[in-house]
Chains A and B, each alone.
Chain A
Amino acid sequence: MTWIEDSRPIIAAERLSHRFAPAGRGLHDITLTIPRGQFVVLAGPNGSGKSTLLRHFNGLLLPQVGTVRVDGISVAKDVARARRTVGMVFQDAESQIVGETVRDDVAFGPENLCWSRGMVDAAVQATMDRLGLSHLADQSPHLLSGGERRRLAIAGVLAMRPDVLVLDEPFANLDYPGIREVLQQVVALHQEGHTIILAAHDLEKVVGHAQRLIIMDKGRIAADGPVANVLPLVERFDIRMPCQARLGLPVTSWLN
């Protein structure tokens, strides 16, 4: 029985379409399954629909046509469950941090889930320890560095114990140490069993750690497969190919 449980994809989109009036841009006929525990990179130029697709995974947007299932259950039928299962880290870390202190912000999600005070405190402490934020617990988020702020955004989502972590352009506006800090955490979270879906337009930083690469173009999936197979195609879709891939080498990690 557990075998069936495990083989059920954590996210499955079927013939999903969502058009924004008036230009009619958005998503067109997306069919996609993501198995539990996979590290997926979603690549594509600006405006290709990455953020729009990600927002369907936790019910911030609902499909106009088609369905999205999270862990087997339609997102439209149980939005709250989808939001608990799929944690979302947005592109602009500053405007998603709600708390006046680091501790308050990490507690925001668990408090919304009405956990008991003891459970909230335990989850907050564990998450801050996990992401190396404990020494900043009483800091104002405004005073954090870029990397710390992004880690706080991840912590705020992680405290709710999601199975899937969705990151929308998590490296935007980060310096080199900031990128490494965040990448390290993402890779570790994947190793601990989280499903990771990461949107990026610059592949170099992340593709060495991913198992699967999906390319989006004009609201459609243009290519999808193991990184090594898809990487040679990327320049056709206005995505810069990592230097090493261009030279025919495997892409190594930014963490070494």
Chain B
Amino acid sequence: MAQLSVFGYRWRSTALHAMDARIKLAALMALSTASLAAGITGMLLASVLVAAAFHQTGTPLVRALGELRYFLILLIAIWMLRSASTPGDPLLTWQGMVISRQGVFEGAMLCWRWLLIVFLGMTVCATTRSSGIRAAVEWFLRPLPGVQAHRVGTMIGLLLRFIPVILTQARETADAQRARAVENRKNPIYRMRSMGLPMLRRTFLMADRLAIAMEARCFGDQRTPHAWHFQPMDRIALVIVIVLCVIMIFA
């Protein structure tokens, strides 16, 4: 079974859920980029906004942090490395290692940016139907020459649809092999092969059936376009994001 995660969409009645997916995706891209250039003021402003947005998802902060635990460990490791490897005024010296004030600051900023981007992404995922995300990606790709936007959109949709199916099948295959004592085999290559081949076979078979079923349902180059509902709220949100990005980059 597909596990519910904090990244998954959950319906609630908030302004953020109702917002046009294109605005949310654009905000994610713009704020992520702007955060690379932002100083403390800009980051503080952006963090307030992201915190408010995250609050609307209704996800308890503790749960989100719990789900991100490995990522947080990685961030702490990056921070420590950064602190120890950046030259500057020594804060602490221990066995030849120098922790510099600049290093601590820069590391903290780096981790802050990552955290901001991740929470923003999490908020967008939790408040936007995957069909909306897909349609927004399609919409942004449409002006690009040589990109078949609706095919990319369909691929994203199929990916989202079939990830849980493939994961479930992988678990079934693994269980079936454990039932036949595959654990007694120590050779990892043997185990990878005995796991990988049936999985590949099933996946290809499924892809084949899927392609036939899509053909039977008249899949082609022309489709009914996604219905966008661009509302005054969306315009306001867009302006807020643009202003914020300008402040982040130039302040």
Query: Which A residues form the contact surface with B (CB < 8 A)?
Result: 58, 60, 80, 83-84, 88, 90, 92, 94-101, 104, 108-117, 120, 138, 140-143, 156-157, 160
Contact = CB atoms under 8 A, between A and B. Distances in A.
B139 to A, nearest CB: 15
A100 B160 contact: yes
B129 interface: yes
Given A90-B212, A100-B157, A142-B2, 12 more contacts: A84-B218, A88-B213, A90-B213, A95-B205, A96-B210, A97-B161, A98-B157, A109-B217, A117-B224, A142-B161, A142-B164, A157-B216
Contacts of A142: 1-2, 161, 164-165, 168
Contacts of B157: 98-100, 104
B212 A60 contact: yes
Contact of A138 (B2, B11, B212): B11
Interface in B211-245: 212-220, 222-225, 227
Name the residue in A142, A143, A157 with the highest tally of chain B Cβ atoms < 10 Å from its Cβ. A142
Contacts of B205: 95
A112 B223 contact: yes
B223 A111 contact: yes
A253 B224 CA distance: 41
B130 interface: yes
B31 to A, nearest CB: 26
A141 B1 CA distance: 11
A90 B130 CA distance: 26
Nearest to B163: A142
A116 B165 contact: no
Contacts of B215: 60, 83
8 contacts: A88-B216, A90-B209, A95-B209, A95-B210, A96-B210, A96-B213, A100-B157, A138-B11
Closest 8 pairs (CB-CB, A-B): A96-B213, A95-B209, A111-B224, A112-B218, A109-B217, A95-B206, A117-B227, A142-B164
A117 B226 CA distance: 8
A100 B161 contact: yes
A81 to B, nearest CB: 10
Contacts of B218: 80, 83-84, 109, 112-113, 160
B203 to A, nearest CB: 10
Contacts of B168: 142
B161 A60 contact: no
Interface string B128-147: 01110000000000000000
B76 interface: no
A142 to B, nearest CB: 5
Contacts of A95: 205-206, 209-210, 213
Contacts of A100: 129-131, 157, 160-161
Nearest to B226: A117
Contacts of A114: 222-224
B224 A141 contact: no
Contacts of B161: 97-100, 141-142
B1 A98 contact: no
Nearest to B220: A112
A226 B160 CA distance: 46
Nearest to B208: A95
Contacts of A98: 157-158, 161, 210, 213-214, 217
Contacts of A138: 11
B2 A92 contact: no
